[in-house]
Amino acid sequence: MTDNRQLQKMALDFSNDPHKRYNILTGEWMLVSPHRTKRPWQGKVEKPPVTDRPKHDPKCYLCPGNVRANGTQTPVYEATYVFNNDFGALIPNTSKASYKKGLLKAAGEKGICRVICFSPDHSLTLPDMSIEAIEKVIDLWQSEYKELGSKKFIKHVQIFENKGATMGCSNPHPHGQIWAQSSIPQEVVKKSKQQKKYWRANNQSLLQAYLTQELEEKERLVCENEHFVALVPFWAVWPYEAMIIPRRHFQHIGQLTAAEKTAYAAILKDLTQRFDKVFDISFPYSSGIHQAPTDGKAHPEWHFHMAFYPPLLRSATVKKFMVGYEMFANPQRDITAEMAAAKLRG
């Protein structure tokens, strides 16, 4: 047998061989190049300056009692506070007309954008907050999903958080956003399609089956409690990408039991605390909740989950950029999902 044929017969070594991995939720492939972690340059390990933030910043528009850009006064709220984004990317009163001319297509998009303050305390981030305080954030996510989702023209409610200046976040006050819109955005369309296909063929949720396999294999698990598991998905593209999956199959945040709500708050705290320990800084990320669209249809295939995409790679100051090959071909990563999970577990 030639050397080449012998190589082809050998099993894949995830920790050394360049390989592709399949994302079961989107149906897309990504590239893993673990051998590159052995290259001599491992990046800087400097700590950025420690930023001590006051509990109340008179210049912060999200702090209780302060004034927003449009002159509205933020009330003296005690736990959470939500308001319509003054510069929303989507607005409710706009044309829904569609446009088609030759090959060119466009369509009006209606929506509502909101900003959610997680806490009146300017100095905190989610991992610093108590489980009880995080539960109040979940309460608000639930009521917003319900209220916005019940509007006839809203087909999808995207709840997310951009944390840290590295992620383009404009204000360190603990906050997240909601963009609700009149069509289903494309990441959700992809995930709906993949989950539906699996549900129809197996009468089981795709993520339920995936979670069962990950709980057996263990190497990508980060932390878990009675109702939720946090893991680095097999197909993760961001260095410390993670996903929170409920053990029970339910479609949306409105279906959490009281015990599940507490467990969800606890795992949010646990995972985000682990992130902060990776490089000993407040870890930047974008996180988002993926759940059933609010288009009035039943979505038995949907399995609620939350994804975290943190950009930091080698240190507090070395960030991964999705550029070059990743813009023109596929996402790619060097450290494997298994290495990242081991670091987050540790």
Catalytic residues: 175
Q: How far is the CB of 288 from ligand H2U (least distance, A)?
A: 12
Q: How far is the CB of 113 from ligand H2U (least distance, A)?
A: 7
CB 302 within 8 A of CB 291: yes
The DSSP code for 152 is T
Q: How far is the CB of 11 from ligand H2U (least distance, A)?
A: 44
182 binds ligand H2U (CB under 6 A): no
The DSSP code for 167 is G
- Residue in 176, 285, 281 with CA at minimum distance from that of residue 240: 285
Interface with ligand H2U (CB under 6 A), residue from 162, 192, 194, 294:
162
Owner of token pair 């197996």:
202
AA identity, residue 311: P
Interface with ligand H2U (CB under 6 A), residue from 117, 169, 222, 339:
169
For residue 184, CA distances in Å to 157, 199, 255, 293, 295 come to: 9, 20, 21, 7, 8
Comparison of 93 and 170: residue with beta carbon closer to ligand H2U: 170
- For residue 105, list its beta bridge partners: 100
CB 124 within 8 A of CB 282: no
16-24, 84-92, 252-260, 316-324 -> range binding ligand H2U (CB under 6 A): 84-92
16-24, 47-55, 82-90, 294-302 -> range binding ligand H2U (CB under 6 A): 82-90
CB 111 within 8 A of CB 92: yes
32-40, 141-149, 167-175, 266-274 -> range binding ligand H2U (CB under 6 A): 167-175
For ligand H2U, the binding residues in 279-318 under the rule CB under 6 A are: none
**Environment class of 267 (CB within 10 Å of its CB; exposed 0-12, middle 13-18, buried 19+):** buried
Q: Which residues lie closer than 8 Å to 47 by C-beta, 6 or more apart?
A: 279, 280, 281, 316
86 binds ligand H2U (CB under 6 A): yes
79-87, 228-236, 262-270, 274-282 -> range binding ligand H2U (CB under 6 A): 79-87
117 binds ligand H2U (CB under 6 A): no
State how far the Cα of 72 lies from the Cα of 86, in Å rounded to an integer: 10
Interface with ligand H2U (CB under 6 A), residue from 33, 37, 66, 85:
85
Strands ordered across the beta sheet of 28-32: 19-23, 28-32, 332-333
CB 302 within 8 A of CB 192: yes
**Total of chain residues touching ligand H2U, rule CB under 6 A:** 12
x/- contact string, 47-66, with ligand H2U (CB under 6 A)?
A: --------------x-----
201 binds ligand H2U (CB under 6 A): no
Strand bridging mode 332-333 / 28-32: parallel
For ligand H2U, the binding residues in 87-116 under the rule CB under 6 A are: 87, 115
Interface with ligand H2U (CB under 6 A), residue from 68, 96, 197, 200:
68
73 binds ligand H2U (CB under 6 A): no
- Residue in 148, 152, 153 with CA at minimum distance from that of residue 178: 148
Comparison of 116 and 134: residue with beta carbon closer to ligand H2U: 116
Q: Which residues bind ligand H2U (CB under 6 A)?
A: 61, 68-69, 85-87, 115, 162, 169-171, 177
